[in-house]
Structure 1
Amino acid sequence: MSDLTVTLIQANLHWENIPANLAMFDAKIDAIKEKTEVIILPEMFSTGFSMQPEKLAETMDGSAVQWMKKKAKEKNVIITGSLIIEEDGAYYNRLIWMLPNGQFGIYNKRHRFGFAGEDNHYAAGDKRLIAQVKGWKICLNICYDLRFPVWARNTIQDNGAPAYDVLVNVANWPERRSTPWRALLQARAIENQCYVIGVNRVGNDGNEIYHSGDSSLIDPVGEIIYHKSHDEDVFTYTLSRAHLDELRTKFPFMKDADKFMIL
């Protein structure tokens, strides 16, 4: 299987301003010079982490989803990130995996951040999304999901292969809890023997909560390939399939993992 090139965009979001955020990401994506195949945006990239879905939610036909569709086609890349979606009378913190041809996958955040009241405003998801591109399988999570390792647990399938190769977490994770963010990203890479990508925002949100970013890319043994604090940044990197396969062959510990089911 071939390598996979990904781009992480760490940005200071415009609070509850959808047009401003779409214009900002438009410019950042247009400025990418390297060839890339997947572009990863933060959690609630069009609004910031807002508890006002009644005011901000869009449908799947709304401006933010349409922007993702247009931009993915224009750049011939996959674009992913989460945003506030209203569907069937409920609000979701929904990650969208948008393909260049306009097809997409969705993941509704399972673990809502009760400390900030997210569970009072958003419905919970109950299904994982593992997307595929160029033979790579990518498990997609949102922010608080990172604290719950069972939900992200990689497992050996009937064909002998792990369920996924890359774990992506998009976030609005505050600086005051940056130590757990960094540690948990590294732990998920080690325990699941996969690449881990965490894309966070920077700057103050509308509640004057500061985010230091600390977006990271970590290899399957926990080595930190990329880490960026405080500043906006756009980082492109090619994930090595040979490196991943070599580590899994040399250290085949996943075959000894416990079997379990999430009820």
Structure 2
Amino acid sequence: MKEELIVGIIQSPLHWEDPVSNREMFSTKIISIADNADLIVLPEMFTTGFSMNASRLAEENEGPTLSWMQSQATEHDLAITGSVIVKDKDRFYNRLYFVFPDGSYDWYDKKHTFTLAGEHRTYTAGNEKLIVEYKGWKICPLICYDLRFPVWARNTEDYDLLIYVANWPEKRIKAWDALLKARAIENMSYCVGVNRVGEDGNGHTYVGHSAIYDVLGDCISGEEIENEFSINVSLNKKHIQETRKKLQFLNDRDTFNLI
């Protein structure tokens, strides 16, 4: 078990619907923080931007972006996560891959498709929560709009780290800031949110505010950063254990079943 997990977050503009350019760009950005990182987190749909043009952009489940993630993971000896547009059989998914240093991987399909943008008309919603075990840490990766639904993130598995990858627009950025902090506090876990910056092909503006919050809701990565940036942040297992032991709030959580 690793007592300290070093998480790298990359907040970046995206080339609209251009997977090749985005993979090349992130290859360069990863080099700048890879040496000390255990895990690198990229935004939602990091190869295309938040596009509904799935019929043209979707990759097969083991397509070129997953292969690229595997090569990055093995080359730099770290894990990497982010979501891409995937066609699996006859359906499209907003699929997050979590790729381990040896190239093996897990995936999570976005549960809450963003109805305001019509995502539900293009992409099939997932129905299974993923808990990843990596270097002695239990990690729950989720995608963008999932952030608004605390029941789905409820920490019934005693996970250590909650991750949201996103394309969250400027006009609702106050909700992003507030909900990331809330998810950390209520679940007594670290919470990582990685958003993009810049303007997409539909004219939506993104101002980032990627951040990492600790178990008490304190931002440990720099708050409300709106420019392009990459940073590594060390997460401490003892902080989780000692805070949970002292406060024991998770022991009083409600029990329920999702149906």
Q: TM-score, normalised by structure 1?
A: 0.96
Whether the aligned pair in 2 keeps the contact of 1:77 and 1:99 (CA below 8 Å) is: yes
Tell me by how many angstroms 1:110 deviates. Answer: 0.4
Pairing 1:244–2:245 present: no
Residue in 2 that maps onto 1:230: 226
Q: Deviations over 1:235-255 (max 9, x none)?
A: 101101111111001100111
Tell me by how many angstroms 1:207 deviates. Answer: 0.7
Residue in 1 that maps onto 2:66: 65
Pairing 1:261–2:257 present: yes
Structure 1 SS opposite 2:186: helix
Structure 1 SS opposite 2:29: helix
Match of 1:175 among 161, 170, 174: 170
Match of 1:200 among 187, 192, 195: 195
Pairing 1:83–2:84 present: yes
- Number of equivalenced pairs: 257
CA distance in 2, matches of 1:34, 1:102: 18
Tell me by how many angstroms 1:61 deviates. Answer: 2.6
CA distance in 1, matches of 2:103, 2:167: 26
Tell me by how many angstroms 1:229 deviates. Answer: 2.5
Residue in 2 that maps onto 1:159: none
Pairing 1:216–2:211 present: yes
CA distance in 2, matches of 1:172, 1:93: 12
Q: Deviations over 1:175-223 (max 9, x none)?
A: 1000000000000001000000000000100011000000010010111
Tell me by how many angstroms 1:224 deviates. Answer: 1.1
Given residue 108 of structure 2, which amino acid in structure 1 is its aligned partner? Y
Structure 2 SS opposite 1:225: coil
CA distance in 1, matches of 2:234, 2:152: 26
CA distance in 2, matches of 1:55, 1:229: 33
CA RMSD between the two structures: 1.0
CA distance in 1, matches of 2:246, 2:33: 36
Identity, % of aligned positions:
47
Whether the aligned pair in 1 keeps the contact of 2:220 and 2:233 (CA below 8 Å) is: no
CA distance in 2, matches of 1:173, 1:248: 30
Given residue 74 of structure 1, which amino acid in structure 2 is its aligned partner? E
Of stretches 222-231 and 57-66 in structure 1, the one that deviates more from structure 2 is 222-231
Structure 2 SS opposite 1:100: coil
CA distance in 1, matches of 2:29, 2:96: 20
CA distance in 2, matches of 1:181, 1:241: 25
Gaps of 5+ in 1: 156-161
Whether the aligned pair in 2 keeps the contact of 1:34 and 1:236 (CA below 8 Å) is: no
CA distance in 2, matches of 1:138, 1:33: 20
Q: TM-score, normalised by structure 2?
A: 0.97
